[in-house]
Structure 1
């Protein structure tokens, strides 16, 4: 990466950091682009060279972290496990350990609420696409476990993977609603709720 690209990336990161702080302190709706630009030592016009809207900044925050989660989870899926349930436990641990390392749950609350306010908005569509990628990853987990001989061959990968993801996702929502639940708390709940599924599908 050249000097110009590094400077541009550093400026974009500064905008994200200032916006994230203001979203948490003032609220998403009360944060103005002009104020974010000023804090990042930019003009409002220059801001638009980097982001088209507040929603773009918010999406950048959550999508950057989601990419990290997807990469870590892909690595996790490729590891060797004694049982499919153990593999899923490792996958869930990855989801709830890697998430929230860069984006606090307060920002995730805003992102989820924004995605529901206008389901047809570009932000909402892109947010749903991130969820779809995570769901497909759970389906791939089932396929890999089948190939490893840990899940019965006749088990349909897509419906079971989608079911597992839905369980993870609902507990993710519970987690970001709470200020007291820990990642380990949620991991334990997901594993308890998923245990009967693995009893049915495992070799």
Structure 2
């Protein structure tokens, strides 16, 4: 049996989690609809049905909310990527593109291109702040996942045994990340165009990686 104090603590935690969820959901909706720069904290408080002070209790700045949205996006992408690592396609090209498409297909789930540009600018302008470090950490985890995919293919004899999987993973991530930046800079570029350009760069890399027959 729970004591009254434990029950109250559990209730408070559930209420806190619910407020957190509502604030983040309001941010995702408003940022996508109205644009990150035009949205006010007051707008988010109204949509989430909390006070302005409550929003600031959870997120010190609007940038904190934006970075929380980025983290939400990337955490889901990483989770989906782990499923690919468990059973990757045998061919390096198919495995790499499968992981990259997983990243790209989910990239606009919670963020618009304008939101991505704002998040990238924030990470560049304030690299030593918690938000700047958080963005860099998320990038690092994505690069690590690519490197682990290369290592997995290597362990199956599909990638040359003397290849530095860590360096190759970082090279591949830097390629897909640079092209993603070009994608979010250009409001007219479609996801299909992005994929075609990245595939043209990944294919020769994948051939170079393959283990000798």
Instruction: Name the TM-score, length of structure 2 as normaliser.
Output: 0.85
- 1:102: which partner in 2? 110
Inter-partner Cα distance in structure 2 for 1:19 and 1:80 = 35
What does 1:167-186 align with in structure 2 at a 5 Å threshold? 167-186=175-194
Count of residues paired in the alignment: 202
Q: In the alignment, which residue of structure 2 is the partner of 1:16? A: 24
1:193 maps to which residue? 201
Whole-Å separation in 1 of the counterparts to 2:144 and 2:114: 26
Alignment-derived partner of residue 80 in structure 2? 72
CA contact (8 A) 2:32 2:111 kept: no
Report what 1:48 is aligned to: 56
RMSD: 2.0
C-alpha displacement of 1:25: 5.7
The within-5 A match list for 1:98-137 is 98-137=106-145
Q: d(CA) in 2 for partners of 1:80 and 1:121?
A: 36
**Equivalents in 1 of 2:29, 2:42: separation in Å?**
15
160, 171, 189: which one aligns with 2:168: 160
Separation in 1 of the partners of 2:88 and 2:66? 36
TM-score by length of 1: 0.89
Structure 1 residues 139 and 35, CA gap change in structure 2 (3 angstroms): same
Taking the aligned partners of 1:68 and 1:35, their CA distance within structure 2 comes to 26
Deviations 1:133-182 (A, max 9, x none): 11111111110010111101001111111000001101111121222333
Matched, 1:149 2:142: no
Structure 1 unaligned regions, length at least 5? none
Residues 1:139 and 2:143 aligned together: no
Alignment partner of 2:66 out of 58, 61, 64: 58
Q: Which residue of 1 aligns with 2:7?
A: none
- The whole-number CA distance in structure 2 between the counterparts of 1:20 and 1:131 is 20
Equivalent-residue separation in structure 1 for 2:88 and 2:55 (angstroms): 47
- Tell me, in whole angstroms, the C-alpha distance in 2 between the residues paired with 1:3 and 1:78: 38
Q: Which of 2, 15, 32 in structure 2 is aligned with 1:7?
A: 15
Question: Which structure has the larger Rg?
Answer: 2
Contact 2:67-2:119 at 8 Å conserved across structures:
yes
